[in-house]
Chain A
Amino acid sequence: ETGVTQTPRHLVMGMTNKKSLKCEQHLGHNAMYWYKQSAKKPLELMFVYSLEERVENNSVPSRFSPECPNSSHLFLHLHTLQPEDSALYLCASSQAPGTGDEQYFGPGTRLTVT
């Protein structure tokens, strides 16, 4: 595997379900990010982890819960989502946190909440 990978690529879940998104980076980077991309809106930063510590929580509802067990893996745990949470969820990583370094994206998880 190379670059940034995400699983699953597509997810349909009901509002009462609990699911998790997984991201893995194979670049040796030290920072990982979760973004949300909705139609007609700019990418929205959700969470930032730098050296496995959360450094940014961009006013995200508590129904989204991130986890970063090590510098290569990032999870987004989902529970009791709303239909408006349907979007493309993107994971990204960068080499040097806190420096405005280039961020590289995974392929994303297309989430549909029914």
Chain B
Amino acid sequence: QKEVEQNSGPLSVPEGAIASLNCTYSDRGSQSFFWYRQYSGKSPELIMSIYSNGDKEDGRFTAQLNKASQYVSLLIRDSQPSDSATYLCAVSDNTDKLIFGTGTRLQVFP
């Protein structure tokens, strides 16, 4: 059974701080990794994809991948209250199947 594990949270950070979200996965054959943001009552929105070891930066978001340790993380710099949402980690072995974690709820307080 391929699994993706995330701490359900909530992770509470003050406005302006760095939020760090972590995800581990069980399938060593995983090749593609994604972070989605899901606001309450809304659908998931893709915010980052990463395919090779290391860091990938996009604005205030940085995705980090370590295939040897089977973890992927998302850093959000200068966190804003509007970042408050559930963040879903998803992995793929380059088939059509995405395996999702249950998500980490992030709360950014003013």
B57 adjacent to chain A (CB < 8 Å): no
A94 to B32, CA, bound (A): 13
* CB interface residues, B 82-110, toward A, < 8 Å: 88, 90, 92-103
A sample of 15 more A-B contacts (CB under 8 A), given A40-B102, A94-B96, is A31-B96, A41-B102, A42-B101, A42-B103, A43-B100, A48-B97, A56-B97, A90-B44, A99-B94, A100-B32, A100-B93, A100-B94, A103-B98, A104-B46, A108-B42
A94 to B92, CA, bound (A): 13
Residues of B within 8 Å of A, CB-based: how many?
25
Beyond A42-B4, A43-B100, whether A98 also contacts B43 by CB under 8 A is no
CB distance from B105 to the nearest CB of A (A): 12
Q: Which residues of B contact A (CB under 8 A)?
A: 4, 31-32, 34, 36, 42-46, 49, 88, 90, 92-103
Sorted from nearest, which 9 A-B pairs have the closest CB atoms? A100-B32, A100-B94, A100-B92, A43-B100, A42-B100, A48-B96, A105-B43, A108-B43, A105-B44
